Amino acid sequence: MTARDNPRGFLRSLLDAAVAAALPDKVVPPHLPDPPTGRTIVVGAGKASAAMAKAVEDHWPGPLEGIVVTRTGHGVPCRRIEIVEASHPVPDAKGEDAARRILELVSDGGPDDLVLCLISGGGSALLALPAEGLTLADKQAVNRALLASGADITAMNTVRKHLSAIKGGRLAAAAYPAPMVSLLISDVPGDDPSVIASGPTVADPTTFADARAVLAHYGIDPPAAVAARLAVAKDETPKPGDERLSRSKVVIIASPLASLEAAAATARTAGVTPLILGDALEGEAREVGKATAGIARSAADHGHPLRPPAVLLSGGETTVTVKGKGRGGRNAEFLAGLAVGLHGAPGIHALAADTDGIDGSEDNAGAVITPDTLARARAAGLDVAALMADNDCYSLFAALDDLIVTGPTLTNVNDFRAILVDPEPTA
């Protein structure tokens, strides 16, 4: 069966390949360090951290202990490492308690011990330990405002680091002089370790002034205690060259680009030429969708930038500035914008999904569009423009039975987008 015979099945096979390339049981074992002469302390946070902990247990030759915190529903049973499930994307008391215990555990390490830190996307919200003078409610309020503002992940994490007792290198500083090895599954554009989960084990190049600038740029009025902390700026995050980070090593073990390359290999096997547009596409989701539609139409009409049958692949993290009250996610908004930009162009199908299996806070990973998406919406009495204005693209694709539901994948290399361009040949 060809991609033209079953475009949805073909696109889903690409998503599956991208996810498989980043599964912890595949990417963790090759990067495990040698056991220490002392204790092995395993800590971590993120949507993939429980599955990463299980991979460590399955391949570690000696004794170990530890705690990791993951998103509710993303837990994996472990024998020796405690798994805590907490709220994401808005932090809760379970995440706060787990973060406090993680900080205490690593602080007990010595120079002959090893701290093995397992970090993946989502870790920033899950490591919810407020800095001195702040409460969990303060962090929750700022988190909600940032999520609705349209701020990108780098901007959000700049603020989060400066409201935290554990992020922005503070976890590694607390572990010193114990050596620390951090295994990271990247979910951020550019794979910057200081941005992944707000960089708890690496030096932080941002400052309190940067955090204040982010809030000002997005018009966010924070709680009084947050404003006061950012203004005083007396407890800066560890910076490059800090002695306390000298024994901390970071290894990125999975990335968006590696997953895109796995999907590209699957496409070639199916006789479809892939083009990776990039692994770090950012911007307002619906606008990125409209812009990408122009590339797809050019391929279909003119054979540029490549001739069909072809698939355009991209990764990264778009944003949604929330103005409505509907249900949605950035992948759903991207696809709605793409469908509008394509205007029903024949032979173009697309899939967009979050590789963690959750598009925003909904129960779907993403959705698909077909050449007749807009026509089917009109026939069903759906006003696409109104739904987009209300940030209600989940409802659009639910009504069309075009949602992609995978459940938690137990990894996270950010969004995956694939646009199949395969128009019927003209006579």
CATH number for the domain spanning 392: value is 3.40.1480.10
Q: Are residues 222 and 324 in the same domain?
A: no
C-alpha to C-alpha distance for 15 and 340, rounded to whole angstroms? 23
Instruction: Indicate which CATH number applies to the domain containing 187.
Output: 3.40.50.10180
Q: Are residues 192 and 275 in the same domain?
A: no
User: Which residue has 């547009």 as its token pair?
Assistant: 277
Burial 334-370 (b: 16+ CB within 10 A, else e): bbbbbbbbbeebebbbbbbbbbbbbbbebebbbbbbb
Q: Is residue 72 part of a domain?
A: yes
Instruction: Tell me the pTM.
Output: 0.93
Q: Are residues 14 and 149 in the same domain?
A: no
Residue type, 106: V
Q: Are residues 13 and 32 in the same domain?
A: no
Q: Is residue 1 part of a domain?
A: no
Token pair, residue 51, equals 């599955």
Name the residue range of residue 85's domain: 23-254
At a CB cut-off of 8 Å and minimum separation 6, what does 135 contact?
Answer: 225
Q: Are residues 400 and 359 in the same domain?
A: yes
Q: Are residues 298 and 410 in the same domain?
A: yes
Q: Are residues 210 and 168 in the same domain?
A: yes
Q: Are residues 317 and 245 in the same domain?
A: no
Q: Are residues 140 and 219 in the same domain?
A: yes
At a CB cut-off of 8 Å and minimum separation 6, what does 117 contact?
Answer: 42, 43, 44, 171, 172, 180, 181, 182, 183, 200, 201
Q: Is residue 93 part of a domain?
A: yes
Q: Is residue 131 part of a domain?
A: yes
Q: Are residues 345 and 414 in the same domain?
A: yes
Q: How many domains does the chain have?
A: 2
Average pLDDT per consecutive 10 residues, the chain (427 residues; last block may be shorter): 90 98 98 97 98 98 96 96 95 96 97 98 93 95 91 92 97 97 94 95 97 96 96 95 97 98 98 96 95 97 95 94 90 97 97 95 94 98 96 96 97 97 75
Query: Which pLDDT score is estimated for 427?
Result: 45
Q: Is residue 426 part of a domain?
A: no
Q: Is residue 86 part of a domain?
A: yes
Span 208-265, pLDDT tens digits: 999 999 999 999 999 999 999 999 998 999 999 999 999 999 999 999 999 999 999 9
Token pair, residue 118, equals 């397992």
Q: Is residue 427 part of a domain?
A: no
C-alpha closest to that of 43 among 127, 162, 147: 127
Phi, psi dihedral angles at 161 (to 5 degrees): -60, -35
Q: Are residues 43 and 164 in the same domain?
A: yes
Q: Identify the three-state secondary structure at position 144.
A: helix
C-alpha to C-alpha distance for 100 and 115, rounded to whole angstroms? 16
Query: Which pLDDT score is estimated for 426?
Result: 54
Token pair, residue 420, equals 């199949």
Q: Is residue 77 part of a domain?
A: yes
Q: Among the three residues 254, 269, 302, which one is the final residue of a domain in this structure?
A: 254
Q: Among the three residues 197, 219, 254, which one is the final residue of a domain in this structure?
A: 254
C-alpha closest to that of 261 among 190, 306, 310, 313: 313
Q: Among the three residues 187, 219, 254, which one is the final residue of a domain in this structure?
A: 254
Q: Are residues 393 and 381 in the same domain?
A: yes
